[in-house]
Structure 1
Amino acid sequence: MCLMLAVAAAALTVVLVNAFVFSPQHQVKAYFNALEDGDGGTALGLLHATVPDANAALLDGAALKASVDTLANLEIQDPIPTGDNRVDQPVSYTVDGVAHTTTFSLEKTGTTWLFFNQWSFVPSTLPTISVDVVNENEASLNGTRVALPEGKNSFAVFYPGSFEAHYASDYFAAPVVESVLTGPQHAQDARLSLATAATPKLVDDLSGQVNAFLDSCAEQRVLQPSGCPFSAAMDRVQDDTIRWSIEDYPEVKVEPFKGNWVLSPLTGVAKLNVVEIDLFTGASVERELKQSFDFTGRLSVNDGHVTLTPVVEY
């Protein structure tokens, strides 16, 4: 009887150890622990994955940890046998309150000490995510500064993961975009596109330069200010009465165009106050004339400085 009890106890021990220690769930748990620790080497070894020809900035350290920081309510479910000593291992979790599931494929590769099963991830290739940005060559990806040659790049990633990108500088910025990658089959949906645009600071600085240029034009006490977008054709006036002012200053808009930043056409309204002399009677008549004008400008941004060169066509 004692022998039978001992055998039964040993058999139960094998079952329990296989279920909780030498199990597919245990391998998956170890994989997630490595991701949470930012230990890309361990995660890659467990996953038996090949690294594709892509930027590896997200495969280790803080950037890797950030990819799983938003994963919550993680639950490693019961494995589903698929035949040939393989199982599908579902893992459920939430990201920002949205439910997701990732399924890993594992296979039994043998036993340890004759009784305990050995499970390994079926070899695979890591997926990639694509990042592109308008008119820039870098961005922040999961808190890490990354290079985007010619405005784009591909990054090898572990899965599942949450990825966010943005761009910020004094003069140009792109708001945060996010994507959740649940598995390699959804990699094509994980593209992060950054729509860079001019910041309020850039618009303010350019508006100041535009307004200063127009004010300098208005200070010229002539009917046709030199190098300026407005003028008046009148036969005879009292020169000392010429007074230009700007009624409406242009609204500055900066747009991307063929890899550069350009100004949209600048339009405004100038006002001329002058005393005109009638050629026939010699009488002096006060005039107030309003004139719409437009011009463009060449934009140069270097080392944190922006310069606008007005371009006036006659």
Structure 2
Amino acid sequence: MATETDRPPGVSVWAVLGWSLLAVLLVVAFVAAVGGLNRTVYGSSTFVERYLQAIADDDISQVMATPGVELSSAELEERGIDPSTSTALLRSGVIDHGPEDVRILSDVEGDDGVHVVTASYRIGTVISESAYVVRPLEPLYGVLNRWEFAESPLAVIDVTVENGALFQVGSLTLDTRVGKSGDDLAAFTQSAPYLTVAPAAYEFAYDSQLLTAPPVELPVVRDGENEVVVVTAPTDVFVQRVQEEVDEYLSETCATQPVLQPSGCPFGIVIDDRVVSSPQWSIVEYPVVTLTPGEDAFEMPRTEGTAHISVEVQSLFDGSFSQLEEDRPIVLSLTTWIKPDGSLAIELR
């Protein structure tokens, strides 16, 4: 049996009990603190909130560093996504606006420790909600919860550029022809898929010297039909360049031919009398170029202009000489497109 002589001198029973109780309280406080941190700062709901906040802050490096976000080639194939799908949109400066007014609606834990966290958020004026499956990782320092997405929240956008190949989103200009060859490379309308961060809204448009497309906003969610069509049309500069090519062709190639039927030209004349002098052509009115999208190129419909011929003729009836001055119609149509090197191709019809 312990006696007073078994304790160190000056240490009472009450002191031992007091220190023991304090140690127990410290352990309880530590466990409670860890539990509180695991429910809040290190909780599954906070993990999802931080992911959504990183999107709102356009901190895409943080988004991609979030466990479970980045997809391997095998995971892409499992989701039916071509592993060669472009990742060009997975960067800052691309999102038009991210999720705002984020609220966690529920956080349901399964028997295996996996949580389903449902969050509500606003993208622009539209309020939506998404469910995220998150699972635990090895705890930090053995006590603090860590999480990862069991299913990556990344989405795929299918971008179609009608009458062109280039489009702009945020600070980027992208080419849907990348990686294509042959007929696919030459197609008038181009499409390509892109991996993107979700949920977020993206604005697609295009503006260059030759082509322009009005902006189209697309809210993107992981499992939605994320498709956007960018419709490009010729700019005034494009039309003017085609007009200059047409005018030069008519005046320099056609009107300079001293014949009644200039070769390869959309005007000419048949004269029954004898032609005495070399015919002289001039252009009175050039056809006005207008362009509309066709199946394979921009098209100008049949458009009229006016050419003038001046030539001396001798009547086969009475042998008299006269100067023929006559306006003749120009009837012209064409197709045009932008070649891969940026120059224009024009075919007269």
Q: What is aligned with 2:133?
A: 105
* Structure 1 residue identity aligned to 2:103: I
Q: Secondary structure at the match of 2:248?
A: helix
The answer to whether the 8 A contact 1:162-1:180 is kept is yes
Instruction: Give identity over the alignment, percent.
Output: 20
Larger radius of gyration: 2
Name the CA distance, whole Å, in 2 between partners of 1:302 and 1:56.
23
Distance in 1, Cα, partners of 2:299 & 2:62: 45
- Identify the residue that residue 265 of structure 2 maps to in structure 1: 228
Shift of 1:205: 0.6
Q: Name the structure 2 match of 1:157.
A: 196
Are the aligned partners of 1:160 and 1:180 in contact in 2 as well (CA < 8 Å)?
yes
- Residue 59 (structure 2) pairs with residue 28 (structure 1): no
Q: Residue 143 of structure 1 is aligned with which of 161, 166, 171? A: 171
TM-score by length of 2: 0.65
For 2:59, give the aligned amino acid: D
- Deviation per CA, 1:111-137: give whole Å up to 9, x if none: 7899x7736344114432222334655
Closer, same or farther: CA 138–270 of 1 in aligned 2, 3 Å: closer
What is the CA distance between 1:201 and its match in structure 2? 1.4
Instruction: Find the counterpart in structure 1 of residue 251 from structure 2.
Output: 215
**In the aligned structure 2, how far is the partner of 1:203 from the partner of 1:65?**
32
Aligned to 2:59: 37
CA contact (8 A) 1:255 1:264 kept: no
Q: Partners of 1:108 and 1:243 in 2: how far apart? A: 84
Structure with a larger share of its residues in strand: 1
| CA distance in 2: counterparts of 1:112 and 1:240, whole angstroms | 95
Please, which moves more after superposition, 212-221 or 150-159? 212-221
Find the aligned partners of 1:40 and 1:296 in 2 and give their Cα distance: 52
SS in 2 for 1:25: helix
What SS is found at the alignment partner of 2:261?
Answer: coil
Taking the TM superposition and a 5 Å limit, the aligned residue runs for 1:14-25 are 16-25=36-45
Post-superposition shift, 1:207?
0.5
Secondary structure at the counterpart of residue 197 of structure 2: coil
Aligned length in residues = 299
- What is the CA distance between 1:103 and its match in structure 2? 2.3
Deviation at 1:226, TM superposition (A): 4.4
Structure 1 residue 71 corresponds to structure 2 residue 98: yes
Q: 1:118 aligns with which of 145, 153, 159?
A: 145
Give the CA deviation at 1:76.
2.8
Q: Is this contact kept in 2: 1:249–1:268, CA < 8 A?
A: yes
Q: State the alpha-carbon separation in 1 of the partners of residues 136 and 337 from structure 2.
A: 63
- Aligned equivalents of 1:208, 1:176: Cα separation in 2: 29
Matched, 1:171 2:199: no
Q: Secondary structure at the match of 2:88?
A: coil
- Per the alignment, residue 268 of structure 1 pairs with 304
Alignment CA distance shift 1:34-1:164 (3 Å): same
Question: Does the C-alpha gap of structure 1 residues 96 and 220 become closer, same or farther in structure 2, counting only changes over 3 Å?
Answer: same
Q: Which runs of 5+ in 2 are unaligned?
A: 1-17, 77-82, 185-189
CA RMSD of aligned residues (A): 4.3
* Aligned with 2:235 (options 182, 187, 199): 199
1:293 maps to what in 2?
A: 331
**Letter paired with 1:102:** S
Q: Which runs of 5+ in 1 are unaligned?
A: none
Q: How big is the shift at 1:202? A: 1.7
How far did 1:181 drift? 1.4
Instruction: After TM superposition, give the deviation of residue 196 of structure 1 in Å.
Output: 3.4
Kindly indicate whether the alpha-carbon contact (under 8 Å) linking 1:138 and 1:147 is maintained by their aligned counterparts in 2: yes
- Against the structure 1 CA distance between its residues 18 and 79, is the aligned structure 2 distance closer, same or farther, given a 3 Å change threshold? farther
TM-fit CA distance, 1:210: 0.6
Letter in 2 for 1:235: D
Name the structure 2 match of 1:55. Answer: 86
Deviations 1:71-127 (CA, angstroms, capped at 9, x unpaired): 25332324242643444323333333232222212346687899x773634411443
TM-score by length of 1: 0.71
Rounded Cα–Cα distance in structure 1 between residues aligned with 2:280 and 2:247 = 20
